[in-house]
Amino acid sequence: MKKLTTLMMATALATTAAAPALADGHAQKWDMPMAYSASNFHSENGVKFADCVREGTGGAIDITVHPGGSLFKGADIKRAIQTGQVPIGERLLSGHQNENAVFGFDNVPFLATSFDDAEMLNKAASAKIGELLDEQNLTVLYSVPWPPQGLYFDREVNAVADMEGIKFRSYNNATSRFAELTGMLPVTIEAAEISQAFATGVAEAMISSGATGYDRKVWESLSHFYEVNGWLPRNYVMVNNDTWADVSDENKAAITACAETAAAEGLEASKAYTQFTMDGLAEGGMTVGPAGDALVEELKVIGETMAAEWLENAGEDGAAILDAYKAMK
């Protein structure tokens, strides 16, 4: 009996000694919904981030990634994080510019059309975005840009007049407005539903990156991709503030370090994915190339209208972001 008691005490002491490795005293299971397919570079980056957090916290925080809108649809992810239905998740923030126009800063047409410009614009906006999200019970961990947005069609398009009446897949206020100004008919469709929407004729066109089209094999329904470099929207990985407050300082430091790595690696992956997906669309049978000069000029006029509307809606906060961005260039 004495030996058994001694063994039990030794086991208890060993367990207690090991507890600091978990920092918060127990492992926390975090579900992380993501809207895009498992093969998309954002989702792959999210899995690497989760692995980094698991290792960096000594298993104290175990993140399970749920890609493809399998846990929550894209439009519902932000609300799910805010309300604590999940502790963490990823969302295209511009999808919520109906809540605050500032959230659409990265969807202003032709404002930032390269990765370098998009990073400067993000730097100019990051403090205000962080402040607005904090008011909504959210903390930004990292964000990653999509490749430049181009136009997909099921036909050849050489002018805005050719777009009249085309059913256009939209994913936020900016894309819906773009459809209206070009005479197209906006239809809201989640990323996970794109393939079916095009296959069934619910949509016939969209503005998106080569990445989205490649992931969804849109060459099965669409024929043309026009490079216009309209903008580079960003996905944000956010954590619930209440959840974040319960994380130890040690584990916060580990997660923040993983987030910095994810931001840097995600940016490089986005750059690399740009040409890769262009090649993939062409290999799938699509006509891929820059839009014609006449079409680009017409689109820039529409872009000026949208930029003016955004600035009016975003007010002083939007103007401050633009001023800061221009000062960096």
Q: Is the pLDDT of residue 8 over 90?
A: no
The pLDDT of residue 25: 56
* More reliable by pLDDT, 232 or 12: 232
| Residue extents of the structural domains in the chain | 27-146+233-276, 150-231+287-328
The pLDDT of residue 101: 97
pLDDT tens-place string over residues 154-169: 999 999 999 999 999 9
Alpha-carbon distance 113 to 36, whole Å?
Answer: 23
Structure tokens at 7: 């063994």
Q: Is the pLDDT of residue 205 over 90?
A: yes
What superfamily does domain 27-146+233-276 belong to in CATH?
Answer: Bacterial extracellular solute-binding protein, family 7 (3.40.190.170)
What is the CATH code of the structural domain delimited by 150-231+287-328?
A: 3.40.190.170
Structure tokens at 254: 């580990």
- How confident is the prediction for the chain on average, in pLDDT? 92
For 10-24, 96-110, 183-197, 248-262, which range has the lowest pLDDT when averaged over its residues?
Answer: 10-24
Alpha-carbon distance 80 to 85, whole Å?
Answer: 5
Which distant-in-sequence residues (6+ apart) come within 8 Å of 20 by Cβ? none
Structure tokens at 263: 């931001």
Same topology for domains 27-146+233-276 and 150-231+287-328, yes or no?
yes
Q: Is the pLDDT of residue 189 over 60?
A: yes
Q: Compute the average pLDDT of residues 171-198.
A: 95
